[in-house]
Amino acid sequence: MLSSKRLVVFAVLLVVAAAYPDNDEEVSSEEGRGHHGGGGRGHHGGKGRHHHQHRHGLAFFKELNETVVQQFVEIWRDDDLSRDEKKAQINELAESVLTPEQLAEFQRNQAEREQRWQERKTEKERKMAALSPNARAAAERIHAVWHDETLSGRDGWKLKKQKVAEIKAELSESEKEEIESLWGRGRGQRGNCMLKRLSFYKDLDEETKDKFKAIAKNNDLTREQKKERSMQLAQEEFTSEQFSEYERVKAEHEQQKLEKKAEIDAKIASMSPNARVAAEKMRTIMEDDTLEWDEKKTQMRVIKEELSESEQTEVNQLREGHHHGRHRRYGNRKNVRWTKLAVASENNAQDDE
């Protein structure tokens, strides 16, 4: 049985998720949910965007008693209900147990999320229309794969990944890049994250933004190759003043990464010998661009299994408090699970056609 506090947190997230339209899971491409796990209905991962419940959470849920919260939880956990049925029942329960003020907040939250979903849907339709014929046809096939409910169960996610890979194998390199710019590779990269720090970012046209995003999310390139191509693209697309700002912001970004690395180095140095060796091995695996994420997970799991419980705790806590890259990169995902529903409902989707 969940504690009262966790029930409240879970209920906030599930109601926000259920109040939001179904999502296009393939937006993150074939590995969109890899670092959060994967699976059937309601088990979404993320693109690395973390802890959005502080923006979209429902403040009044902390005032509800445990019995009411449990009612929301039971609806969400009922696997015999479709998402639409869950949404309808949660709406009905909200109308019966919430005060007029609470219900107004709940409905306002729904309306805001619906608007954001419509905006993402429109943006995705714009990008789809701009694709070449072959890439557009492939994108539609990929969409169908992710929404194929016959591919479910424990192995459903792997089967979908395999089918998507087969579709992509039929494409030329340029067509693959089009697909990547539409959905990305979903390996925890944030695409234009650094670019958004530029004062003129909002003035850039979408085509230019997509070019940078395609480079950032192309995992056939090494980190150094991505840097080189991004720099070359900036020289081609930006004015001299804009390029100077780009170089400055990029240098600041690199400095921040070095500082974070130094902080992690210090944490590793303070570990017990076995945990320190394991952490170094796992960091090497994480930085190996030649490995798929599934292979990285497997190798890191083997390393952790050789550790004692206390040593595993050291490794799991290595990235506590850091929200760049993957969630708790070397650790477990227990606390992340409480954010899955809210993050997935808004951030792993652009459209449910």
Per residue in 269-294, pLDDT tens?
999 999 999 999 888 888 776 677 77
Residue 353 lies in a domain: no
Same domain assignment for residues 34 and 178: yes
Same domain assignment for residues 53 and 67: yes
Same domain assignment for residues 17 and 135: yes
In DSSP notation, 210-258 reads HHHHHHHT-TTS-HHHHHHHHHHHHHHHS-HHHHHHHHHHHHHHHHHHH
Q: How many domains does the chain have?
A: 2
Residue 261 lies in a domain: yes
Same domain assignment for residues 305 and 202: yes
Q: What is the pLDDT of residues 208-253, one digit of tens each?
A: 888 888 888 777 788 888 889 999 999 999 999 999 999 999 899 8
Residue 235 lies in a domain: yes
pLDDT given at position 148: 80
Give backbone dihedrals phi and psi of 52, rounded to 5 degrees, phi first. Answer: -85, 0
Give me the amino acid identity at 316: N
Report d(CA 282, CA 325) in Å as an integer.
14
Contact 14, 345 (CB under 8 A): no
Same domain assignment for residues 50 and 117: yes
The region, left, alpha or beta by phi > 0 then psi within -120 to 50, assigned to residue 277 is alpha
Residue 229 lies in a domain: yes
Residue 256 lies in a domain: yes
Same domain assignment for residues 164 and 35: yes
Q: What interhelical angle do 173-183 and 100-130 show, nearest 10?
A: 170
In this predicted structure, which of 84-88, 152-156, 287-291 has the lowest mean pLDDT?
152-156
140: pLDDT strictly greater than 70: yes
Q: Return the bridge partners of 35, or none.
A: 37
56: pLDDT strictly greater than 60: no
Q: CA-CA-CA-CA torsion for 119, 121, 126, 129, nearest 10 degrees?
A: -170
Same domain assignment for residues 163 and 223: no
Same domain assignment for residues 155 and 200: no
Same domain assignment for residues 52 and 182: yes
Residue 238 lies in a domain: yes
Contact 130, 181 (CB under 8 A): no
pLDDT given at position 153: 60
- Angle at the Cα of 91 (from 49 to 83), degrees rounded to 5? 60
Residue 158 lies in a domain: yes
Domain that holds residue 303: 195-333
Q: What is the pLDDT of residues 300-334, one digit of tens each?
A: 888 988 899 889 888 887 754 444 444 444 444 43
Contact 135, 179 (CB under 8 A): yes
Q: What is the pLDDT of residues 24-47, one digit of tens each?
A: 444 444 334 433 334 333 333 333
Same domain assignment for residues 256 and 109: no
Question: What number of other Cβ atoms are within 10 A of residue 225's Cβ?
Answer: 13
pLDDT given at position 244: 93
Same domain assignment for residues 328 and 203: yes
Report d(CA 63, CA 69) in Å as an integer.
10
Residue 352 lies in a domain: no
Contact 71, 93 (CB under 8 A): yes
Same domain assignment for residues 143 and 227: no
151 vs 215 pLDDT, higher one: 215
